[in-house]
A and B are shown apart, each in its own frame.
Chain A
Amino acid sequence: MSRIFPVEKYQKDFLLKLLRDMVLIRRVEEKAGQMYGLQKIGGFCHLYIGQEAVATGSIAAIDLTKDYVLTTYRDHGHALVCGMDPGVLMAELFGKVTGCAKGKGGSMHLFDVENHMYGGHGIVGSHIPLATGVALKIKYKEEDGVVLCYFGDGAIHQGAFHESLNMAKIWNLPIVYICENNQYGMGTNYQRVSSVHDFYIMSNSYGIPGKQVDGMNVLEVYEETKKAVKQAREEGLPSFLEIKTYRYRGHSMSDPAKYRTREELEEYRQQDPILLLKNAMVEKNIITEEEYKKIDDECKVIANQAVEFAEKSEEPPLESLYEDVLA
């Protein structure tokens, strides 16, 4: 696939931020994977490696002082780009009291209400109506905000998706629905279980424009999200983006991903979203390989420090078991 990376159109700082956000996600996720192997993290742990450009490019197009993000259980990348401290994130994965949810949510339930990161939701598709409700609140309060609602290809056949799009359209809600099509709903290729293979056309059934976006190209993700956000903010209209991406790891840490070939994985690794942006920036003399190495080293240090913070943090006290059931 030929891709266009018009890096010369952007400020260097902006490009560096995109690059750095993606590298940080990659390094934190690799660390999370390692810590899972060491049994420091338990349960389900869904890594975002390979999909970094989606959260990075799209969240770069919003303003979290007034906009909102809701996503699935594959939420580490979104939380980091929304501004969650990597140490707080890692502590949550470790189940420590210093985690964002005091150790009660874990990997699948990252929340950062201050930064308008509204989860971290574990039931496939179930948060799509919630995101639609946040958009209803924005409209009701006559605010200027927009909601980005992320979900995987597996969620597209849930009733909650279809019910939500219908309501978003009849009430003209400022929301962008983003399907991160990483091509596998757990171990099932989306083409095996979908009556149509291009999901972006589905929103047309509800009178909502849909567009397919290259999820390995962070600049394309940014530009397309920016257009959709503008439409939501200025005209109060919902839209739908199908962002084609790929996860390098299994569905969760326990999944050896035997349902796909090495060749397929290698093909996508050749289109790595981080390397594609980095190479384009190097080619146009925006950064040097050495500068990139420095960014990468810094992110590795941050990931290590996150683990140290999590390790040193306390377990939640037993009495917290009964706290926060009710307000």
Chain B
Amino acid sequence: MPIITYREALRSAMDEEMARDENVILLGEEVGQYDGAYKVSQGLLDKYGPKRVIDTPITEEGFTGVGIGAAMAGLRPIVEWMTFNFSIMALDQVINNAAKMRYMSGGQFKVPIVFRGPNGPAEYLAAQHSQALQTLFVHIPGLKVVAPATPYDAKGLLKSAIRDDNPVVFLEGELMYAWKGEVPEEEYLIPIGKADIKRQGSDVTIITYSKPLRIVEQAAQELEKQGIQAEIVDLRSLRPLDQETIFNSVKKTNRCVIVDESWPMVSVASHVGWMVSKFCFDYLDAPVELVTSEDVPMPYNHKLELAAQPSVEKVINAVKKVLYI
């Protein structure tokens, strides 16, 4: 099977869907002539032309709303936010328009649109450019939220997101764009709303998604050396959440650690932690542990920014805590 990067997987998903459906367009800052701020859309302008790959001004609220209006009228836009930090400028459009249009019109509209771009911290970017903002979107009924961690998942989920008749917020990661993995040449789709067991294990369930999957996998390898078999549940989809896969794993291992690179308060981690505590109460042998970013804005200094985020060591410590070792 060919090995490609996460970036190439996303590009190939957009390429295939644009070839398949002429209603699919891509718009955002630097997506065309510049080939994408992170080169995700490289080559698409040459292939599909400026009518379908549209460079926008730096106008996040404006071009996000333009995409939503075009979706209401029948197109299937992909809106690229250069990073999710700038999506905050467009939150009104996503929350008040994209997420509400179908409900408040009594079902008269579909809003088939994808909002995608890098979310979460990279390196040395300081407070305004290093935020994991998924909670803002996961909170909102009327949206779907997807956060793939591998090139294979990224391609299959982006294709599903583009074909979905609802607004889908698609979370990528700057540091993930260069990650490599196996992606088949033949076409495939991954349904939104299905978690994936990335590693089988019997002693503890570690639930994560997006970029922290890597450190969780490293932690699981370390733990294996110590005789601890960790099962890794990759959520992939944050809204809807695959409760069945989560609960089945925890019921098997009886212990649960949740690793989430966003802040701890009112987060995906805290919500999943509550769900597991409530619905797997009789199966748990220890309180659920969360590993999140520290409850501070991101500092610039590298030592400090690493300390602010989940790490292999923090995951191992949390696992040992739920195992009482």
Point out the residues of chain B lying under 8 angstroms from A120, CB to CB: 104-105
Known: A127-B97, A132-B66. A68 touches B73 (CB 8 A): yes
User: Which of A163-171, A190-198, A275-283 is near enough to bind chain B?
Assistant: A163-171
Verify A324–B97 contact, CB threshold 8 A. no
Q: Does B87 contact A (CB under 8 A)?
A: no
Size band of the B side of the interface? 35 or more
Point out the residues of chain A lying under 8 angstroms from B56, CB to CB: 167
C-alpha gap A74/B221 in the complex (Å): 61
B68 to chain A, nearest CB (A): 6
Verify A327–B110 contact, CB threshold 8 A. yes
Verify B71–A133 contact, CB threshold 8 A. yes
Size band of the A side of the interface? 35 or more
C-alpha gap A103/B59 in the complex (Å): 34
User: Which of A7-15, A49-57, A104-112, A242-250 is near enough to bind chain B?
Assistant: A104-112
Point out the residues of chain B lying under 8 angstroms from A122, CB to CB: 96
Verify A136–B69 contact, CB threshold 8 A. yes
Q: Does B15 contact A (CB under 8 A)?
A: no
Verify B61–A109 contact, CB threshold 8 A. no
C-alpha gap A257/B289 in the complex (Å): 56
C-alpha gap A135/B70 in the complex (Å): 8
Instruction: Give 3 nearest A-B pairs by CB, closest first.
Output: A133-B69, A129-B65, A163-B62
* Residues of A near any B CB (own CB < 8 A): 68, 70, 99-105, 109, 111-113, 118-123, 126-138, 140-141, 159-160, 163-164, 166-167, 170-171, 323-327
Known pairs A123-B97, A131-B69, A163-B62 / 20 extra A-B pairs, C-beta < 8 Å: A101-B108, A102-B106, A118-B73, A120-B104, A123-B96, A129-B69, A130-B66, A133-B71, A134-B73, A136-B69, A137-B69, A137-B70, A137-B75, A160-B65, A166-B59, A167-B56, A167-B66, A171-B54, A326-B144, A326-B166
A sample of 29 inter-chain contacts (CB < 8 A) reads A100-B105, A104-B104, A105-B104, A109-B105, A111-B104, A111-B108, A120-B105, A123-B97, A127-B65, A129-B68, A130-B68, A130-B72, A131-B69, A132-B69, A133-B66, A133-B67, A133-B73, A134-B72, A137-B75, A163-B57, A163-B61, A163-B62, A166-B62, A167-B57, A324-B103, A325-B142, A326-B166, A327-B111, A327-B112
* Residues of B near any A CB (own CB < 8 A): 25, 51, 54, 56-57, 59, 61-75, 92-93, 96-97, 101-112, 141-142, 144, 165-166
